[in-house]
Amino acid sequence: MSIESPADLEGVRAAGRVVAETIEAMRERVAPGVTTLELDEAAGEVFRRHGAVSAPRLVYGFPGETCICVDDEAVHGIPGRRVLRKGQLVTLDVTAELDGYVADAAVTVPVGEPSPEAAALLEAADAALARGIEAAQAGRPVRAIGRAVEAEASRRGFSVLRELTGHGVGRTIHEPPTVPNWDDPAAFEPLTEGLVLTIEPILAAGGGRVAACADGWTIRTADGSLAAHAEHTILITPTGARILTAA
């Protein structure tokens, strides 16, 4: 969406605050022995307290409040009876709808102490997100974000999963424009003031290809390597990008 009024800004900020609070509630519970369903139930409690609902469930009939991925799963993992083990990576991807506005953010966190490779991958995802946010300046093409994201990932020795992208957001979960995580010539349209979009590098320790899982939702790395995802919803302002899903 493009912000047209103070009410629009307050609406999407309020959805963004629910997303941030939900991620923190889930993150606090990440530990060995916890199931992904327990994390999802913690998200549902925060949603209900605020009168928010799961946007992926609302729009696509996703079978969960949030998308939760483990290790080589990249996006759209279904919460369930899976028990987290020490050393795994878990991605908490939360998209909430509140009073007609939608915001979206994700983090990948370790279960206990991460391996050195996993820790480097997590740092790279955060750094790539930071570079993408810095690049999101009004007047630049959308592809400037992806160029910055992929450069940071490559510099650190990791791949971006090019088939997975950021997107416009604000009134529903997926809006134009598509926000590639690489310097895609197709993403030539300019970033305009008031535009609300996600920036979400999804990096892999191995190659950049993905594969679909048999559950019909989960996308994982094709080579089984670890994936990490860092995402915020941002607003393009005259003075740079403003994060709407920060805690």
3-state helix vs strand vs coil in the chain, percent to 5: 30, 30, 40
150 and 181 Cβ atoms separated by less than 8 Å: yes
Taking residue 56's Cβ as centre, other Cβ atoms within 10 Å add up to 24
Span from 33-41, 132-140, 144-152, 195-203 in contact with Mg ion (CB under 5 A): 195-203
Report DSSP letters for 184-244, one per residue.
-TT--SBP-TTBEEEE--EEESS-S-EEE-TTSS-EEETT---EEE-BEEEEEETTEEEES
Q: Residues touching Mg ion: how many (CB under 5 A)?
A: 2
Tell me if 165 contacts Mg ion by CB under 5 A. no
Q: Nearest distance from residue 113's CB to Mg ion, in Å?
A: 28
Residues 124 to 143 in contact with Mg ion, rule: CB under 5 A: none
Q: Which is nearer to Mg ion, 55 or 114 (CB)?
A: 55
Tell me if 198 contacts Mg ion by CB under 5 A. yes
Tell me if 104 contacts Mg ion by CB under 5 A. yes
Dig out the tokens for 134 from the structure. Answer: 């810095």
Q: Nearest distance from residue 100's CB to Mg ion, in Å?
A: 18
Q: Nearest distance from residue 112's CB to Mg ion, in Å?
A: 27
Helix (H, G, I), strand (E, B) or coil at 98: strand
Q: Nearest distance from residue 174's CB to Mg ion, in Å?
A: 8
Q: Which is nearer to Mg ion, 103 or 127 (CB)?
A: 103
Residues that bind Mg ion (CB under 5 A): 104, 198
